[in-house]
Amino acid sequence: MTAHVVPPASTVETASPAVVVSNLRRVYGNRVVINRLNLRIERGEFVALLGESGCGKTTLLRALAGLDPIQGGRIAAPRRPAVVFQEHRLLPWDSLWRNVSLGLRLPDARERAAAALAEVGLGDRLDDWPRNLSGGQAQRVALARALVQQPELLLLDEPFAALDALTRIRMHDLVRELVANHRPGVLLVTHDVDEAIALADRILVMRDGAIAFEHRKAEDTASIRRAALLAELGVLTPHAAA
């Protein structure tokens, strides 16, 4: 298994990618699920991965997360990525702040968890139980738990699929804002074409275990110009702040 080899310093490029995947191969029994897949995600870049069920997109995400062994190629990431799953996977026996700080080995874990929860709009629920949350709120806690690790790569495995339409739109805004503030590389696995278009800088379509199509969002010159002008006038928008 060659996942998460830290590349020697000399090969780290100045652009500092969040992850570089080369010639990845993943096999279940004698079925090839991922074949010679190459992918590079920069820090601060939001990549959406579309594809039919069974095309291997979740398999790719799990390989990147280090949850499954790979049978060939390499995944080079500076650090272990953070993951938000389709289910919130909160520990029902821990308060929200304990959930968010799970795995944080820092003396100020509670303060950091509090800040992360405040960022997702749940700053007043530190000591509440997960069972008192709605689906959208639980998924926001899961986002806080991922971001408190300050990941360089954030993997989102259909995290909004189980939410109702309005909650999903609110979550899109929140994710956009969080990613703008923290600037991790993001890989969003989704079925939802509109969601991919709404969030991603780059959209990949996966077919038969490889990237079959790539669409880079054209720079929206109008909005950049507007943000730049606003910045000149002292009004900071997320786009300009980044």
Question: By the criterion CB under 8 A, which residues form the site for other proteins?
Answer: 65-67, 80, 82-83, 85, 87, 89, 91-94, 102-103, 129-132, 145, 149
What residues contact 114, with CB distance under 8 A and at least 6 apart?
Answer: 97, 123, 126
Comparing CB distances to other proteins, the nearer of 146 and 199 is: 146
Q: How far is the CB of 142 from other proteins (least distance, A)?
A: 9
Residue 60, number of CB atoms within 10 A of its CB:
30
Comparing CB distances to other proteins, the nearer of 94 and 192 is: 94
CA distances from 167 to 28, 128, 141, 171 (A): 36, 21, 14, 6
Beta strand pairing call for 202-207 and 210-216: antiparallel
Tell me if 96 sits within 8 A of 141, measured CB to CB. yes
Comparing CB distances to other proteins, the nearer of 47 and 83 is: 83
Comparing CB distances to other proteins, the nearer of 6 and 212 is: 6
Q: How far is the CB of 100 from other proteins (least distance, A)?
A: 10
Cα atoms in the Cβ-side hemisphere of radius 13 Å centred on 19: 31
Q: How far is the CB of 83 from other proteins (least distance, A)?
A: 5
Q: How far is the CB of 53 from other proteins (least distance, A)?
A: 19
Comparing CB distances to other proteins, the nearer of 67 and 224 is: 67
Assigned token pair, 18:
């969040």
Residue 5's nearest CA partner among 56, 70, 92 is 70
Assigned token pair, 43:
């820090």
Q: Which residue matches tokens 């820090």? A: 43
Beta strand pairing call for 82-84 and 185-189: unpaired
Cα–Cα–Cα angle for 75, 77, 78, rounded to 5 degrees: 155
Comparing CB distances to other proteins, the nearer of 103 and 121 is: 103
Q: How far is the CB of 205 from other proteins (least distance, A)?
A: 26
